Amino acid sequence: MSARPLIDRSSDAVGTALRAIADATDLDALRAAERRIDDEFAAIKREIKSVDAADRSAVGQALGTAQAQARAAADARRGELEATAGAARLAGERLDLTAVGAEYRRGHLHPVTQVWRELEDIFCGLGYEVHGGPEVEDDWHNFEALNFPPGHPARAMQDTLYVNLGEPEQVLLRTHTSPVQIRLMESQPPPIYAVMPGRTFRRDTPDARHSPVFHQIECLVVDRGITMGDLMGTIEVFFRALFGDVEARFLPSFFPFTEPSAELGVSCPFCSRSGCRTCSHTGWIELGGCGMVDPNVFAAVGLDAEEWSGFAFGFGIDRIPLLRNEIDSLQTLLWDNDVRFLRQF
């Protein structure tokens, strides 16, 4: 067999290959065209053995030239198609900075947390330290060391949430943050100037004025020569920093851990004592209790009441955002968790 038919066939094959490569509109079409071209060249290569020995080199040279032309054309077309595909992908992924994106609202602290931090800032500005303690307490720190007698109503199961751990009615969820005062006096010597904000628990049904989980802040000062005048002056400064131009009121009262004790009130910052809905038309808002630390409390932590004296006061943190924002329900503030409502604060 002469070499001419296979040389012509190689020439025709490369012409067909070049047209198929040029017509490929994407990389998939190009790969399909390359497979057909490879099949045709392979078929020609298999038939070389039927050519006369003297002419085989001519056929091989013609086939190699045709394959090289087809391969070069395919590589060039592949580069063009990849560039086109890359440009299209970039155009599709391009971020249009002029387009209006989805609105993401930035969150903010809960109203109670806002007040909590504000109170800490005020006391830190007065030179006080902030301390915390465990929320699961023992009877000693929550009641006994604070001068609560064994039969005190606060120790009854209808008021306190006891934990089923250890001896009966010896482990509980703290009913106030006062146990932190005991732990602080046990852990470091006076002088002590500290505040103790935290979460507390009592056996209450949630309603407009009650919650089984609420927040308190208490203040403790222990030093030499502390008097009731120091307590009143501190509260006056604190109230003015919190509410503005207001007056503090002290009414005689009783608390097991202070003696003497007083109910703590502030002149209504909304009506300047003229009477309004917030203060129940009395001109005053009751906030908490205060007094001089009872000598029995000092004795419980090993301090000499003849050498050391001190005062303590405390109130509910939750009450402040209720008053400031004229919210009429503690349940709305603490339990509903309605973002539409909380967003306005």
Q: What is the pLDDT of residues 29-62, one digit of tens each?
A: 878 877 877 777 777 667 666 666 666 677 667 7
Phi first, then psi: what are they for 15, rounded to 5°? -65, -45
Cα end-to-end distance, the chain, whole Å: 97
**160-180 pLDDT, tens digit each:** 899 999 888 899 999 999 999
pLDDT for residue 91 is more than 60: yes
- Are residues 237 and 253 in contact, defined by beta-carbon separation less than 8 angstroms? no
Burial level of 52, CB count in 10 A (0-12/13-18/19+)?
Answer: exposed
User: Tell me, what's the pLDDT at 198?
Assistant: 96
pTM above 0.85, yes or no: no
Mean pLDDT of all residues in the chain? Answer: 85
User: Tell me, what's the pLDDT at 2?
Assistant: 61
- Identify the sign of the CA torsion 59, 61, 62, 67: positive
- Are residues 223 and 191 in contact, defined by beta-carbon separation less than 8 angstroms? yes
pLDDT for residue 1 is more than 70: no
pLDDT for residue 316 is more than 80: yes
How far is Cα of residue 38 from the mean position of the Cα atoms in its chain? 63
